[in-house]
Amino acid sequence: MVRAAALPVLAAALALVLVPPAEAEPFPTRPVTIVSPYQAGGTSDIIARATAQKFAEIWGQPVLVENKPGANGSLGVMTVVRAPPDGYTLLAIASSGLTLNPLVYANLSYDVARDLAPITGTGEVANVLVAHPSVAASTVPELIALAKTKPGALGYASQGVGSNGHLIGEMFRQRTGIELFHVPYKGSAPALNDLLAGQVQLMFDNLPASLPLIQAGKLKAIAVTTAARDPRLPDVPTIAESGLPGFAATAWFALLTGKAVPAERRAEIEKAVAAALADPATKARLAAAGVEVTGTGAAALAARIASETTIWKGVVEAAKIRVE
């Protein structure tokens, strides 16, 4: 009797075992949006559009790039954070939005660790220390010597308070012990205009923006901020080899999702990004914009965000930079 009664239960259990597992929901089945928290035309936007084009080919679905500048990047970031956690809304952002803004802006509406999940690093851009041709220094040691003879007479332009260029300049000032005054602008273009006019003497700028001006003799390249020399300026030394060992700082870019997007979905997206960034046409398009493709993956991106936040925290605190 006991055995007979158990048969239906065993049959039901066996049926469950034999039922094939449900297939994962295909992704994507509709358009995907990449949010860029900046104006169109910048490096982050260029990377987003180049990868979006390849994503569309890989996924067979439209991939749209939506520019949402404002509130120090918060407007675009929060669009992604508040989106449904399904992976259909991605964030293409510069490193400053992940490692600098959270340290500088007191009322930032997002928390990187709490609200965002890394997918991969996408690209990197070299920075270069440039000077107006009238500056009587062509190397880092000469610049340091000049600044020490004229304390507080040299200023450096940046793209804005808390920008990559601002904090690289602050790191340089702290490492050298020289006096430089900071002149913030609203973006790279107006800063470069005043530098070209001689209204300010120095700037730490993205190399792609400054390279044509260097080649035309309108600006003087003092040093690059990368760990190794840049092949486009092979005769220009790094800051590290110019007497500041270990000095390295670049502008880099990444793709993230909202934190609540499931890990399996994030892994699918990471795989697609890797394929897009490995595509020769995509690489060539980004190289033309001065971007070195990285494609580091989620784990490496998370580690970089953490390590660079620690580095920049020391710089920001030493300089007492805080925007309420």
Q: Which range, of 6-15, 123-132, 134-143, 236-245, averages the lowest pLDDT?
A: 6-15
> Which numeric CATH code is attached to 32-125+250-319?
3.40.190.150
Residues ≥6 apart with Cβ < 8 Å to 322: 104, 106, 316
Position of tokens 């936040």? 309
pTM here? 0.85
Q: What's the Cα-to-Cα distance from 281 to each of 65, 93, 159, rounded to whole Å?
A: 19, 22, 30
| CATH superfamily of the domain spanning 127-242 | Periplasmic binding protein-like II (3.40.190.10)
Question: CA 36 to CA 254: how far, in whole Å?
Answer: 11
Domain residue spans of the chain: 32-125+250-319, 127-242
Q: In what order do the strands lie in the sheet with 154-158?
A: 180-184, 154-158, 202-206, 127-131, 220-224
List 253's β-bridge partners, or say none.
Answer: 94, 123
The 3-state secondary structure of 2-38, one letter per residue: HHHHHHHHHHHHHHHHHCCCCCCCCCCCCCEEEEECC
Residue-level pLDDT at 24: 61
Work out the average pLDDT over 116-138: 97
Work out the average pLDDT over 154-176: 95
* 32-125+250-319 and 127-242: identical CATH topology: yes
Residue-level pLDDT at 304: 97
